[in-house]
A = this chain, B = another copy of it.
Amino acid sequence: MPTVRLTVSDGDAEVRARVLALDLADDVTENAGAAVVDADLVVLAVPVGAMGAVAAEIAGELSPGAVVSDVGSVKEKVLNALMAALPGVIVIPAHPVAGTEKSGPDAGFASLFTGRWCILTPPAEVEAWQTERLADFWRLLGAKVETMDAAHHDRVLAVTSHLPHLIAYSIVGTASDLETVTQGEVIKFSAGGFRDFTRIAASDPVMWRDVFLNNREAVLETLGRFTEDLTALQRAIRWGEGDTLEALFTRTREIRRGIIDEGQDIDTADFGRPH
């Protein structure tokens, strides 16, 4: 493996101190521009709504031939923002579909990307070998790589990530606002299923605000489908249609089996939580 030198940039002095204490990087800079001097690869890891501004900050310091990528959860708007801020630069957006509800320098760990997918959404003008080089970078981190169109990425992730987060945030909000059931009761009896939703509803508020603001169309479309299906289920409950309910509840087991077979979750009961 070639020698790699890693520079991290963060505007917050406490975060920079933590990055150094955890030995996450060779160098740490306050200024984003200073961090990209001489870099072959620049990876932006900021909320998707901040990508354009950060790209503009580094534009003047990039070396010729440098590749600019990112890890944002939305791709079409980010691709457009990066291309607009960095004319003539090789831009290859990326999204590692991995992470937890925690953020900040202490939330990372070495095996975070192992066996997870990283999606690359190169624009048409990027040459295949450039994309392949970035793919190899992610493979070295343990990820599997898939390439697709940015707009398709946004439709896929609207289903597998954005809608689940929206629904989790929403149900947790609803549960804490009821008159007939106290918040204390919701907390005490959360092991009945509710606590599963609170994990992703504890994710970073700014990151998720930006996701919804920047993938509006796909999220609203998927949400429309979901509420249609939920309305049908509501009707089945109201009219006591047991067969409809049982048929859906049987069908949904298959997709979990697929996820376990594909290595994207474990088969241990209750996510292996200790009891």
Contact = CB atoms under 8 A, between A and B. Distances in A.
Contacts of A84: none
B246 A173 contact: no
A216 B238 contact: yes
Contact of A201 (B162, B165, B209, B252): B252
Contacts of A216: 237-238, 240
Given A237-B212, A238-B220, A161 B193 contact: yes
Interface of A: 73, 97-98, 100-102, 107, 109, 111-112, 114, 116-117, 119, 146, 152, 155-157, 159-178, 180-181, 183, 185-203, 205-206, 208-210, 212-213, 216, 219-220, 222-223, 225-227, 229-230, 233-234, 237-238, 240, 242, 245-246, 248-259, 262, 264-266, 269-275
22 contacts: A101-B269, A107-B269, A117-B188, A119-B189, A146-B188, A155-B180, A160-B192, A160-B193, A161-B189, A161-B192, A163-B171, A168-B252, A172-B252, A177-B225, A195-B256, A198-B265, A205-B253, A213-B242, A216-B238, A216-B240, A220-B237, A272-B274
